[in-house]
A = this chain, B = another copy of it.
Amino acid sequence: MTYCIAINTDEGLVFCSDSRTNAGFDNISIYSKMHTFVWPGERTLVLLSAGNLATTQAVVKKIWSDIENSAAVNLQSSPDIRSAADYIASISAGVQKQHVERDTSSTNFEATFIFGGQIGTDKPEIMLIYPQGNFIHESEEHPFLQIGEVKYGKPILDRIIKRSTPLTQAARCALVSMNSTTRSNLTVGAPIDLMIYSKGALDFGQRMSLTENDPFAKQMSEYWNQGLVQALDSLPRFPWELN
């Protein structure tokens, strides 16, 4: 399993992903699911991947080889985020089709992606690319996208994230959402990759990779627990407690 989040705020973008892959309970590996494609001053693009690892690796490999070979369509030359998402969706669907045709045991080769970034002076955008080869952008009301094990970490995003949320607060919220998920689902795990991109920067952004015992990650988790206890204490008393 996997958990990835992207948030699109007025100040910029947040991307966050875990690094655990598993094929059954006894076959666990660490692979980063965050792939960045940056041409400083021109474009910053980020791809987060969930699903069949052979599919997602083949898709990322194809994206890089198309860039290196200056293919007719590639991430460096795509005119906008939407057409770049369509290009990735088309690669993903093609890879899955190829693997399905080879397979004799109805394996699930599906992969889901979050793709986003900024190209030149365009607005930053984020897209969720489905295994079926189509894609959607985030909603205006809830400007975030999730893939993988989405339920544990959704309530905090639902309650906090708006377009106007400051960029670093959105990033802290993403880390909390990720932390709630890694605590509850064994197949989502550290290192946690975080990238914070300021609108208009067209650079590599601020990037962190937090291991399980990283002091910053531990402090985050401890402070969050304390904050929740205080939040609970601040809730209204039951009517019979007031007498």
Binding site for B on A (CB under 8 A): 151-156, 158-160, 168-169, 171-173, 176, 180-181, 183-184, 196, 206, 208, 216, 219-220, 223-241
A240 to B167, CA, bound (A): 13
| A interface: dominant SS | helix
Residues of B near A176 (CB, < 8 A) are: 232, 235
Contact A230 B227 (CB under 8 A): yes
Number of copies: 2
In the complex, A152 Cα to B63 Cα: how many Å?
35
- Given A227-B231, A227-B234: A184 and B160 interface contact (C-beta under 8 Å): no
Nearest CB to that of A225 among chain B residues?
A: B159
**A241 to B: closest C-beta gap in Å:** 6
B227 near A232 with CB under 8 A, answer yes
Chain B residues within 8 Å of A230, by CB: 227, 230-231
A183 to B158, Cβ gap below 8 A? yes
The CA of A206 and the CA of B220, in the complex, are separated in Å by 36
Q: How far is the CB of A179 from chain B (nearest CB, A)?
A: 8
